């Protein structure tokens, strides 16, 4: 819950600015004021207060150390146990209800749940409505039996997938550290499961990523708990026969044999098959260092042809020029095999990097969505956004590789403080950018006017140059700080034009009032049609794209766009809001509807770099949100791009 995040920050910093809290927690200042008031009421009962300081922020003052530390202990217990007295939001209650119902096989009476949560029966009923919606996405339901209560009902395998998503956080730590988890099984047993898996996959030469290993440990732990409760998965005889024929079934048998000796309970054959299915869904088929001819020998022809079609479609729609990337072709072929296995057996795969992928590689994620659409059309498989995120990683790698393969950018250094400083900057640039940057020399400013800059891509100068040059000038500090490196990186990565090139005066709408996402999308789409810049069902396509994966990336920004290009030219339609609205779980106040030209082959990476710069700049986003006129908006955008 957000109020506890605020409390943690106050405990760590003692005094904190309200605007800082809003930026850290990605909400509005008004929401922070409401949360602080709510937190203050809670703290007043536990030996502490929040003192507002005019012009400074908020300060935590503790009057009773013992009472306050008791509250902190309750907060810690709350993470995995009973929510009283802290579950004062529907979000927290639903989290608790989900855990309670998923881990309990017996019926639970509504009155008992209401008493545990300290809420009315009507409030509980409203919470359960939301819970039913979540369960339905897993093919599960709430069974209501008169005089007995409620319990979760549905396919055992799907119930386990739901447990893995809601009992184990998506962001559980990966690597050698022990995963944080509620007591499904003991820590000792959890460690033993991991050891057995590592031993058997090494023996059988099976490659797993850290994420895949974590997923496998989690699902075997869940299986152990459910088997002890005599709850088993089931497969049709034809399915069992197919699974038993796989190498992974033999490995699963070895894993189970070791587990049975330690855990003192047996695994039925269907549970061995369940582990085999998870191995099928997460293992890396072979090394990605094979060439295309070797790949064709071990990859199904259908998967190879599907991958070729995917890369062609990505190039056709996004002009990324990656269809000839052999490493990407091989990586995609190898990745799609377990993707299809996961679909065939209804498996889920958590992606702890999803939000970061969407925020930092938006173009690669869009390419992943195109890949998902091709797979859907060819195989009638619906690829959800966790899987799309993994596809995007491979495309992101190809994008980074393409940067390295491109011809180096040529530049000259202008330094006013002498040869020593110029050489310092020269070697610093060499160490950071290596072969990607060809520095043709260093010079003083007064000599620059005598030089031809025709063969250069840009000038790097430690002094501001107001006179116009025939190539871009990048002003940096002699000691090359982080922001300087970012500016040069952008210049190397793209032939950069200012962000305002994509802005149209008739399509900038500031300080608007809307209550929800659909209203905003309808408004912007209508305005775009009014200026006759698109040909096609823009709104319907934008809504279809949102259904695949929401385009709210955090920092109050959303970048909605259609599934395919409809526009006569590439442009942005901007809408800022007086108050943030909910956009699929994230607050949004700055909306940039992105429209791509239908036919022109242009470098979309340049534009996405500019969007990414805005997306990640909290201060700039807030400045743009506060703008009241078009001229003010353009001025802020121009200064920061």
- In this structure, are 399 and 413 located in the same domain? no
Q: What tokens does 526 get?
A: 């209508």
Q: What is the percent of the chain with per-residue pLDDT over 90, rounded to a whole number?
A: 33
- In this structure, are 573 and 619 located in the same domain? yes
Q: What is the pLDDT of residue 440?
A: 93
Which of these ranges, 235-249, 388-402, 541-555, 605-619, has the smallest mean pLDDT? 605-619
- Flag whether the pTM goes above 0.75: no
Q: Which residues contact 177 (CB under 8 A, 6 or more apart)?
A: none
Tell me which residue range forms the domain holding 484. Answer: 409-492
Q: What is the pLDDT of residue 175?
A: 36
- In this structure, are 530 and 633 located in the same domain? yes
CB 44 within 8 A of CB 56: no
Q: Assess if residue 179 is contained within a domain.
A: no
User: Token match 């549970």: residue?
Assistant: 271
- pLDDT surpasses 80 at 39: yes
Give residue-wise pLDDT tens across range 167-213: 775 444 433 333 444 457 888 888 999 999 999 999 988 888 787 88
Give residue-wise pLDDT tens across range 290-325: 555 665 666 778 888 999 999 999 988 887 888 888
Q: Assess if residue 171 is contained within a domain.
A: no
- pLDDT surpasses 80 at 163: yes
- pLDDT surpasses 60 at 284: no
Give residue-wise pLDDT tens across range 576-585: 999 999 998 8
Angle (CA) 593-599-604 rounded to 5° is 50
DSSP string for 414-474:
E-SS-HHHHHHHHHHHHHHHGGGEEEEEEE-HHHHTTS--TT-SEEEESS---S--SS-EE
Q: What is the percent of the chain with per-residue pLDDT over 70, rounded to a whole number?
A: 90
Give residue-wise pLDDT tens across range 613-637: 787 788 899 999 999 999 899 888 8
- CA-to-CA distance for 244 and 258, rounded, in angstroms? 19
- In this structure, are 514 and 618 located in the same domain? yes
Strands 437-443 and 409-414, how do they pair?
Answer: parallel
CA dihedral (325, 328, 329, 330) positive or negative: positive
Strands 503-512 and 571-583, how do they pair?
Answer: parallel
Q: Label residue 475 by pLDDT band (50, 70, 90).
A: very high
CB 80 within 8 A of CB 182: yes
473 forms bridges with which residues in the sheet? 459
- CA-to-CA distance for 5 and 25, rounded, in angstroms? 8
CA dihedral (581, 584, 585, 588) positive or negative: negative
Q: Label residue 260 by pLDDT band (50, 70, 90).
A: very high
Give residue-wise pLDDT tens across range 123-150: 889 999 989 998 998 889 999 999 899 9
Mean pLDDT of the chain: 84
Question: How many residues are listed for the chain in this entry?
Answer: 641
Q: Which residues of 301-327 are buried (b: 16+ CB within 10 A; e: fewer)?
A: eebbebbeebbebbbebbbbebeebee
DSSP string for 574-599:
EEEEEEEEEETTEEEEEEEEEE-BSS
- Other CB atoms within 10 A of residue 3 CB: 21
Q: Assess if residue 181 is contained within a domain.
A: no
User: Quick one: average pLDDT of 394-403?
Assistant: 84
- pLDDT surpasses 50 at 497: yes
Q: What is the pLDDT of residue 498?
A: 62
- pLDDT surpasses 60 at 397: yes
- In this structure, are 45 and 74 located in the same domain? yes
- In this structure, are 417 and 372 located in the same domain? no
| Residue with more model confidence, 43 or 83 | 43
Q: Assess if residue 512 is contained within a domain.
A: yes
- In this structure, are 610 and 533 located in the same domain? yes
* CA-to-CA dists, residue 392 to 23, 268, 435, angstroms: 27, 38, 26
Q: What is the pLDDT of residue 173?
A: 40
Q: Assess if residue 454 is contained within a domain.
A: yes
- In this structure, are 351 and 333 located in the same domain? yes
* Domain end residue (candidates: 405, 432, 461): 405
Q: Assess if residue 84 is contained within a domain.
A: no
The answer for 434, left when phi > 0, alpha when psi is -120 to 50, beta otherwise, is left
SS (H, E, C) 20-61: HHHHHHCCCHHHHHHHHHHHHHHHCCCCEEEEEECCCEEEEE
Q: Which residues contact 446 (CB under 8 A, 6 or more apart)?
A: none
- In this structure, are 635 and 505 located in the same domain? yes
CATH of the domain at 136: 1.10.10.10
- In this structure, are 345 and 235 located in the same domain? no
Peptide bond into 85 cis (omega under 30): yes
- CA-to-CA distance for 86 and 487, rounded, in angstroms? 46
Give residue-wise pLDDT tens across range 51-110: 888 777 888 888 888 888 888 876 765 554 544 444 556 777 888 888 889 988 899 999
Q: Assess if residue 54 is contained within a domain.
A: yes
Q: What is the pLDDT of residue 179?
A: 41
- In this structure, are 326 and 343 located in the same domain? yes
* Domain end residue (candidates: 247, 282, 317): 282
Give residue-wise pLDDT tens across range 501-523: 788 889 999 999 999 999 999 99
State the distance between the two ends of the chain, measured CA to CA, in whole angstroms. Answer: 36
Nearest to 129 by CA among 161, 99, 93: 93
* Domain end residue (candidates: 442, 464, 492): 492
Q: What is the pLDDT of residue 337?
A: 81
User: Quick one: average pLDDT of 236-244?
Assistant: 89
User: Quick one: average pLDDT of 385-389?
Assistant: 91
CB 394 within 8 A of CB 421: no
Q: What is the pLDDT of residue 170?
A: 44
- Other CB atoms within 10 A of residue 390 CB: 20
- In this structure, are 503 and 632 located in the same domain? yes
Q: Assess if residue 160 is contained within a domain.
A: no
Nearest to 556 by CA among 116, 86, 31, 172: 31
- CA-to-CA distance for 549 and 539, rounded, in angstroms? 16
CATH of the domain at 551: 3.40.930.10
- CA-to-CA distance for 525 and 514, rounded, in angstroms? 14
Q: What is the pLDDT of residue 149?
A: 93
Q: How many domains does the chain have?
A: 6
């Amino acid at each position: 819950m957000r109020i506890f995040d605020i409390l943690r920050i106050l405990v760590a910093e003692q005094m904190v600015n309200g605007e800082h809290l809003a930026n850290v927690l990605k909400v509005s200042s008004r929401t922070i004021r409401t949360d602080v008031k709510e937190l203050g009421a809670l703290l007043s009962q536990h030996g502490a207060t929040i003192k507002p300081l005019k012009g400074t922020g908020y300060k935590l003052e503790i009057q009773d150390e013992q009472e306050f530390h008791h509250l902190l202990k309750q907060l810690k217990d709350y993470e995995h146990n009973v929510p009283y007295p802290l579950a004062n939001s529907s979000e927290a209650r639903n989290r608790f209800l989900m855990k309670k119902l998923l881990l309990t096989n017996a019926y639970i009476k509504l009155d008992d749940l209401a008493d545990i949560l300290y809420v009315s029966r009507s409030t509980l009923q409203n919470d359960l409505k939301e819970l039913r919606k979540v369960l339905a996405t897993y093919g599960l339901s709430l069974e209501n039996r008169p005089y007995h209560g409620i319990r979760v009902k549905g396919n055992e395998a799907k119930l386990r997938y739901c447990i893995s998503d809601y009992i184990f956080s998506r962001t559980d730590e990966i690597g050698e550290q022990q995963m944080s988890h509620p007591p499904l099984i003991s820590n000792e047993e959890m460690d033993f499961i991991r050891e057995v898996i590592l031993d058997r996959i090494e023996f059988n030469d099976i490659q797993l990523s850290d994420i895949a290993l974590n997923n496998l440990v989690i699902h075997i732990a869940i299986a152990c708990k459910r088997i002890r409760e005599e709850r088993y998965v089931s497969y049709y005889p034809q399915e069992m026969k197919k699974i038993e024929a796989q190498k992974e079934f033999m490995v699963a048998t070895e894993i189970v044999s070791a587990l049975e000796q330690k855990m003192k309970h047996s695994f039925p054959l269907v549970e061995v098959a369940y582990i085999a299915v998870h191995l099928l869904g997460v293992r890396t088929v072979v090394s990605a260092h094979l060439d295309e001819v070797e790949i064709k020998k071990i990859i199904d022809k259908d998967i190879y042809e599907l991958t070729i079609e995917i890369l062609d479609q990505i190039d056709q729609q996004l002009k990324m020029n990656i269809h000839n990337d052999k490493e990407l072709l091989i990586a995609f072929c190898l990745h799609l095999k377990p993707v299809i296995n996961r679909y065939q057996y209804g498996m889920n795969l958590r992606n702890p990097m999803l939000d970061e992928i969407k925020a930092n590689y938006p173009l690669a994620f869009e390419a992943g969505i195109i890949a998902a659409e091709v797979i859907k059309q060819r195989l009638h498989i619906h690829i959800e956004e966790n899987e799309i995120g993994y596809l995007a990683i491979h495309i992101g790698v190809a994008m980074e590789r393409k940067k390295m393969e491109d011809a180096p950018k040529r530049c000259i250094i202008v330094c006013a403080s002498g040869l020593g400083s110029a050489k310092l900057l020269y070697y610093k640039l060499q160490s950071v950018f290596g072969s990607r940057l060809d520095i043709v020399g260093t010079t003083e400013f007064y000599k620059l006017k005598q030089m031809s800059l025709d063969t250069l891509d840009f000038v790097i100068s430690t002094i501001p140059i107001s006179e116009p040059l025939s190539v871009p000038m990048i002003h940096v500090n002699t000691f090359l700080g982080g922001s300087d490196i970012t500016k040069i990186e952008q210049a190397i990565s793209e032939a950069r034009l200012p962000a305002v090139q994509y802005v149209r005066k008739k399509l900038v709408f500031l300080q608007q009032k809307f209550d929800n996402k659909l209203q905003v999308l309808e408004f912007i789409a209508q305005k775009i049609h009014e200026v006759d810049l698109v040909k096609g069902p823009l709104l319907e396509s934008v809504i279809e794209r949102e259904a695949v994966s929401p385009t709210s990336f955090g920092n109050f920004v959303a970048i909605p766009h259609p599934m395919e290009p409809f526009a006569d030219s590439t442009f942005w339609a901007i809408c800022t809001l007086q108050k943030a609205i909910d956009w699929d779980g994230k607050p949004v106040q700055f909306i940039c509807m992105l429209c791509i030209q239908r036919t022109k082959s242009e470098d979309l990476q340049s534009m996405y770099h500019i969007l990414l710069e805005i997306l990640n700049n909290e201060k700039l986003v807030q400045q743009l949100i506060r703008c009241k006129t078009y001229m003010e908006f353009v001025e802020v955008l121009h200064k920061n791009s």
